[in-house]
Chain A
Amino acid sequence: EAGVTQSPRYAVLQEGQAVSFWCDPISGHDTLYWYQQPRDQGPQLLVYFRDEAVIDNSQLPSDRFSAVRPKGTNSTLKIQSAKQGDTATYLCASSFCGGYYAEQFFGPGTRLTVL
């Protein structure tokens, strides 16, 4: 069974540029999560979906970050006008349902550097 895949694996930008990250969850998983992991920190949830609906985006900086999952499968996270403070690894995870017993499976992440 294929795991969670993400692309690109690395991205280097100048401040002010835009970037998109793409995630393909495990087949059949209805819940998809995006995390931001700054260097030497634990992952912090940005947004998560059940099917195509956003369940929680309270930690997503809405002025520059956006996330979609239009068909309830793949997802794209986009940063408009990146800042140096956005430098981090962006992890995607998926699970079947989202309750207490649902295990989240993580992709390898996209390491973003904003110069």
Chain B
Amino acid sequence: AQSVTQPDARVTVSEGASLQLRCKYSYFGTPYLFWYVQYPRQGLQLLLKYYPGDPVVQGVNGFEAEFSKSNSSFHLRKASVHWSDWAVYFCAVKRGSNYKLTFGKGTLLTVTP
């Protein structure tokens, strides 16, 4: 069965510092991977998506992620965090004939001044 693991429930970063949020997937075959962000009292918004090809994908607002088949990982990065990035970030994998999205439990990013 597929799964997505986000090992860090919460990450705290100083404004202006770099960021990495971790995601590990477990899946047989070619994974289609996604990062979503959820701001308080809002729905999920797509940050970026990986389809088989270039392992580094660019997203909105300066986010990028790198797919690693050898490490079964799809970590999210940002070079310089802004206070407005304070939110919950979800990694997800899509698979199967029904193309179902399976989400991790999320990582809360908090930003300190």
User: Which A residues fall within an 8 A CB radius of B?
Assistant: 4, 40-45, 48, 55-56, 91, 93, 98-104, 106-109
A-B contact pairs, 6 of them (CB 8 A): A4-B43, A42-B92, A43-B90, A43-B103, A91-B44, A103-B46
Q: A108's closest neighbor in chain B, by CB?
A: B43
Q: Given that A40-B105, A56-B98 are known contacts, is A107 also in contact with B46, CB under 8 Å in the complex?
A: no
Chain B residues near A41 (CB-CB < 8 A): 105-106
User: Which B residues fall within an 8 A CB radius of A?
Assistant: 4, 9, 32, 36, 41-46, 49, 51, 90, 92, 94, 98-106
Chain B residues near A101 (CB-CB < 8 A): 51
Chain B residues near A103 (CB-CB < 8 A): 46, 49
CA A106 to CA B94, docked complex, whole Å: 16
Chain A residues near B32 (CB-CB < 8 A): 100
Chain A residues near B98 (CB-CB < 8 A): 48, 55-56, 98
Given contacts A41-B105, A100-B94, 7 further A-B contacts (CB under 8 A): A42-B90, A42-B106, A43-B101, A45-B102, A48-B98, A91-B44, A108-B41
CA A41 to CA B49, docked complex, whole Å: 21
B45 touches A106 (CB 8 A): yes
Q: B41's closest neighbor in chain A, by CB?
A: A108
The residue in A41, A99, A100 that gathers the most chain B C-beta atoms within 10 A of its C-beta is A100
Chain B residues near A100 (CB-CB < 8 A): 32, 51, 94, 99
